[in-house]
Amino acid sequence: MTTFLALSLTGLVVGCIYALTACGLVVTYTTSGVFNFAHGAIGMVAAFTYWQLSVAWGWPAPLAFLTVLLVLAPLLGAVVERVLVRPLYGAPIGVTLVATLGLLVTLLGVGFLAWPPDTTRVLPKFFEGHTITVFSLVIDYNQLLVIVTSIAVAVGLRVFFSGTRLGIAMRAVVDDPELAALAGTKPERVSQLSWALGAGLAALAGVLLAPLQTLNVTDLTLLVINGYAAAMAGRLRNLPATVAGALVIGISSSLVLGYAGPQVVNYVRPAIPMILLFVAVLFLKQERLRAGSLAGLRMPRTAGLRQSVGVGLGFVVVAGLVSGQLSPASLAIGGQGMVLAFIMLSLVLLSGYGGQVSLCQLTFAGLGAYAMGKSGGGALGLLAAIALPAAAGALVALTVVRLRGLFLALATLAFAQAMDQIFFNHALGYGGTLEIPRPRLPLVDTGDDRAYFVLLAVVFALGAIGLLTLRRRAFGRRLIALNDSPAASATMGVSPVMTRLLVFTLASAVAGLGGALLGGLHGSVSPNDFLLLNSCVLLLLATLGGLYTPTGAFLAAMSYAFFPELQKLVPELGQVQFLLTGLGVLALGRNRYGIGGQIADAGERLRSLRVHQVDRVEVARAAG
């Protein structure tokens, strides 16, 4: 009984912290309409800042605590709203999602930079050493603080939203920004306030959580994913349900950890929040078919067949020539860029054309590599590397296909995280590696690194040509139409479910093939290659490169692959990489088609310039 109570208490404390973070998420989401994937990262930065102030600089703990919670965190939230969120008002979910992912990456970078992981940092518990005993249950003051704070926050939020003018104004903004504006509320002010409040709650959660474990940049950032699950329990709106969800997650995880055997713990516990998130997402009411988001988005022109084949051929020839000049190390890096670009094509198809945001593309890549490795390579291996991810993709799609936008993104996130924890860690060995053979081909010795590099270039070129061909044909139009207006598509007889299922499966297969080729490039894979965070970065980069063109995918993948090399030459670049990412995300507010879109735009301008010249010549001739 005592064990049970003690475990429940530990779980309750953690659940309270999840509740705090989840409430912050809900507040910003409902008020500003943007789901903040960087919520955990804000908590992480806050926890480290608190460590910096209180431990490193020796400020008194209460002063440091209040400075972080009441000054620094809200300020950060307000600035983020002004700089990042506001320009994206009304943008499609894919764009806002990537923007906050960009913030996540930037803050992670700041975290690693400011507090390098080579030293261990420990935050003392609040009121270390003080405990009280209730019916043989020992409760320390730190736990008490967490519980009391959470109750205070819950009551405070309740009073704020139903009892104060500002709180009621915030709710009104959610329901109808234009109407609220007419009534004299400034939606931007209210949205900014909600970001400040959300960041404050994230910080509070981070600071309270940090003393319960060692300070670690990635862990703190991702632990907040548990908060996502709780927020989903309240369907991102309902605060009491959110709190209840958080407590369930906290307590059930703690009980599983305490009672179940180590096997179960290893497999199941890390996945509990994910499973709950997945279930919560599935029980969401089916969204009504709604109008497309923004009219008048200019998608880049699609190249014709002849043009794309021509460019593809040229691309392979150049890759062949360049490969002769590359060192073995550069060949490997270039090859990596090539494969990543190929995997990104699956994102162009799925997210660019189809408007479905996926945070688990590398999970399918990992499944492809796994199938290739286990089946021993060869033609059968390649087939398995396509079929296994395709089947998994179809299965995932079947369960999530009703979801769109943010909820789909969250479901794929849950899937990716669960696969990281349950499957890859075991299937690919703890930190160990699974050997992946290269495909064997007639006439080509794929064992030769240069030949393999050229093969990868060919695969990418074929993929790009195939993608563009698909875009020009009926299926491509159907995808774009479905993305632009689900309602109109359905009323012309298109089954949204079938179409999304098809494209999700196809994209999974492409990613899987890419994963097998990636494994072949390095000879082996490890669980680290397919982490959720990497999938996020992949989506981020693909979007920055322009989710609508193979060119954009190629440029994004190559810069990703080669950046670490550049950094070796110019070490200062390491500091800039995250800044660059941040700036890139800001630029998204201006051109939603990314770099690829800019290039396509420039090409179009050039072409119309030429046409105009021709016109002028003809006019001159007619006049003369």
Q: Which residues bind another protein (CB under 8 A)?
A: 288-289, 291-292, 294-299, 474, 477-478, 480-481, 483-485, 487-496
Strand boundaries in 276-409, DSSP class E: none
Give the containing element (helix H, strand E) for 524. Answer: strand 524-525
Between 286 and 325, name the residue whose CB sits nearer to another protein: 286
In the bound complex, what is the minimum distance in angstroms from residue 614's beta carbon to another protein?
18
Between 211 and 300, name the residue whose CB sits nearer to another protein: 300
Between 200 and 486, name the residue whose CB sits nearer to another protein: 486
Longest dimension (CA), the chain: 105
Between 358 and 485, name the residue whose CB sits nearer to another protein: 485
Q: What is the distance of C-alpha 516 from the center of its chain?
A: 22
In the bound complex, what is the minimum distance in angstroms from residue 499's beta carbon to another protein?
10
In the bound complex, what is the minimum distance in angstroms from residue 619's beta carbon to another protein?
22
In the bound complex, what is the minimum distance in angstroms from residue 371's beta carbon to another protein?
31
Pair type for strands 524-525 and 137-140:
unpaired
CA angle 291, 293, 588 (to 5 degrees): 165
Give the containing element (helix H, strand E) for 132. Answer: strand 131-134
In the bound complex, what is the minimum distance in angstroms from residue 471's beta carbon to another protein?
11
In the bound complex, what is the minimum distance in angstroms from residue 604's beta carbon to another protein?
12
In the bound complex, what is the minimum distance in angstroms from residue 492's beta carbon to another protein?
4
Between 492 and 622, name the residue whose CB sits nearer to another protein: 492
Give the containing element (helix H, strand E) for 349. Answer: none
Between 288 and 568, name the residue whose CB sits nearer to another protein: 288
342: Cβ–Cβ under 8 A, 6 or more apart, which residues?
A: 456, 459, 460, 463, 510, 513, 514, 517
CA separation for the pair 346, 354 (Å, rounded): 11
Tell me the residue type at 437: P
Residues 41/214, Cβ–Cβ less than 8 Å? no
Residues 420/533, Cβ–Cβ less than 8 Å? no
Tell me the two tokens of residue 22.
């989840």
Between 33 and 486, name the residue whose CB sits nearer to another protein: 486
Between 294 and 313, name the residue whose CB sits nearer to another protein: 294
Residues 464/308, Cβ–Cβ less than 8 Å? yes
In the bound complex, what is the minimum distance in angstroms from residue 391's beta carbon to another protein?
24
Nearest to 512 by CA among 340, 341, 343, 375: 343
Between 292 and 466, name the residue whose CB sits nearer to another protein: 292
Q: How far is CA 505 from CA 341, 396, 511, in A?
A: 19, 9, 10
CA separation for the pair 321, 316 (Å, rounded): 9
In the bound complex, what is the minimum distance in angstroms from residue 129's beta carbon to another protein?
55
Looking at residue 419, the DSSP 8-state letter turns out to be I
In the bound complex, what is the minimum distance in angstroms from residue 547's beta carbon to another protein?
12
Between 189 and 301, name the residue whose CB sits nearer to another protein: 301
Residues 351/357, Cβ–Cβ less than 8 Å? yes
